[in-house]
Amino acid sequence: MPPPPKKPATEPPPEPPELPESRPNSAPGLESYRREQRRRFLKGALASSGLALGAGWAALAPPGFPLSLRDPTGELGKPRPSSLRLPEGGYAVAPRLGAADLGIAHGSQLMPMLRAAIDAIGGIQHFIQRGDVVLLKPNVAFERAAALGATSDPELLGALVALCREAGAAEVRVADNPIESPEACFARSGLQRAAVEAGARLFLPQHADFRELLTPGAALIERWPFFARPFSGVTKVIGLAPVKDHNLCRASMTTKNWYGLLGGRRNQFHQDIHGIIADLALMLRPSFVVLDGRRVLHRSGPTGGSLSDVKAGHTLVAATDSLAADAYGWSELLERRDEPLPRYFALCAERHLGQPDYRALRLAEVRLG
């Protein structure tokens, strides 16, 4: 409330200083003094009532009025994180006519196997066009040497970066949010070196890089902190995952791999590990995935730690349907075809997020030397 404006006092409260005796009744001097006092008073009154009016407006004007700060319920003062959405339909590319859904290459030489597997599903040129910004998502979860099979293979990452660049990608990015210290995980696994040497741009998570991602329809992560910075401007996403035993969800392959893009309280998801994997399949629709069955962590997963936990699989799988790739990995690489598929396969299939019966799809299997 502005104070009631007072009439300017005709006489200023303090007595004017004694005027020099030599100029008694010096009207001009007294007059100018009074004028000055009046002006000072008016200025002060104007400023203080202006301040009071402004403060009153900010505090009392109804919410929504310009410059109003009024918040009667306390709701307006809460933080409102702006949420992010990934493009509609994800990063999927329409399949090429006649291409297989699952490209499977057996052999021992990486590059020919990788080319053969990708060619079978349409070829790298089909997925990556000139000018694309491609994000590669390896699994860097733990600080382990690559040979221990707990992380993606650096050679595969390097080869995939090279293929993308060959296909004309403007920029290839590599990003993951590991469980252990990101720098150490990327360094120890060799993925940092492989990425940088192949000319990719590496994104290590910083705490400011996470934004809330909106995934409509997700059961657990409809709104969840997401490693957003590497996604700005991205046009294609490729996942590359090792084949790993997993204590809780039984197998961690290409679908579980997207877990590394989440931030926040991830450790709660073990209470519904199959539910979160189904949500991950919904959250991120990749351009394609590569399942690296050359090393199979067949027990003590997902961390491993001993070479005896790893066996050679001599296989690479490229697929547009990551669930089918995982199902193939379950049967043929982990060799658990006699056991029922983990529950997340059924959950994903219910939502039409993939085909767990990979034999019903078009397979192209190539054997190289």
Partner 1 sequence: MSKAPPKPASKAKRRLPLLQPNRDGTPFYTRTLRITNVRVLSQVFFFALFVFLLMTTWFSRIGGYPVSLFLELDPLVGLATALSTHTVYRWLWRGLLVLIPTLLFGRVFCNWLCPYGALHQFIGFIFNIGSNRDHIAANRYRPIYQLKYYILAVMLVLAAFGSLQIGLLDPIALLVRSFTVSVMPASDLAVTGLGRELAERGLEPELSPLLSAPGAADARIFDGAIFVGLMLLGLVAMNLFIPRFFCRVLCPLGAMLGVLSRLSLWRIDRDPTRCTDCDLCLKGCEGASDPQAALRKSECFVCFNCIDDCPEDALSFKLTPPPLSAHLVGSLKDGSARLFGRPLKSQILGTENAGPAVPRRRWILASLGGAVAYPFMRLSKAVGARGFHEKVIRPPGSVAEPEFLERCIKCDQCLNVCPTNVLQPASLEKAGFEGLWTPVMDFSVGFCQLNCALCSEVCPTGAIQKISVEKKLGLGEHEDAGPLRLGTAFFNRGRCLPWAMETPCVVCEEVCPVTPKAIGTYDESIVRWDGERVTLNRPYMRPELCIGCGICEHECPVIDDAAVYVTAVGESRDPGRTLLLDSARQRKKG
Residues engaged in binding partner 1 (CB under 8 A):
142-143, 177, 179-184, 186-188, 204-208, 229, 232, 246-248, 263, 265, 267-268, 270-273, 300, 302-306, 309
Separation of alpha carbons 192 and 80, rounded Å: 35
Nearer to partner 1, 265 or 352 (CB): 265
Separation of alpha carbons 55 and 52, rounded Å: 5
Nearer to partner 1, 190 or 302 (CB): 302
Q: Smallest gap, in angstroms, from Cβ of residue 89 to partner 1?
A: 25
Separation of alpha carbons 161 and 115, rounded Å: 12
Nearer to partner 1, 9 or 248 (CB): 248
Q: Smallest gap, in angstroms, from Cβ of residue 309 to partner 1?
A: 7
Q: Smallest gap, in angstroms, from Cβ of residue 180 to partner 1?
A: 6
What's the DSSP call for residue 143? Answer: S
Separation of alpha carbons 220 and 277, rounded Å: 10
Work out whether strand 133-138 and strand 236-246 pair parallel, antiparallel, or are unpaired: parallel
List Cβ neighbours of 20 (8 Å cut-off, separation of 6 or more).
26
- Residue type for 316, please? L
SS3 85: coil
Q: Smallest gap, in angstroms, from Cβ of residue 259 to partner 1?
A: 12
Nearer to partner 1, 255 or 355 (CB): 255
Work out whether strand 288-297 and strand 236-246 pair parallel, antiparallel, or are unpaired: parallel
- Residue type for 336, please? R
Nearer to partner 1, 102 or 204 (CB): 204
Q: Smallest gap, in angstroms, from Cβ of residue 246 to partner 1?
A: 8
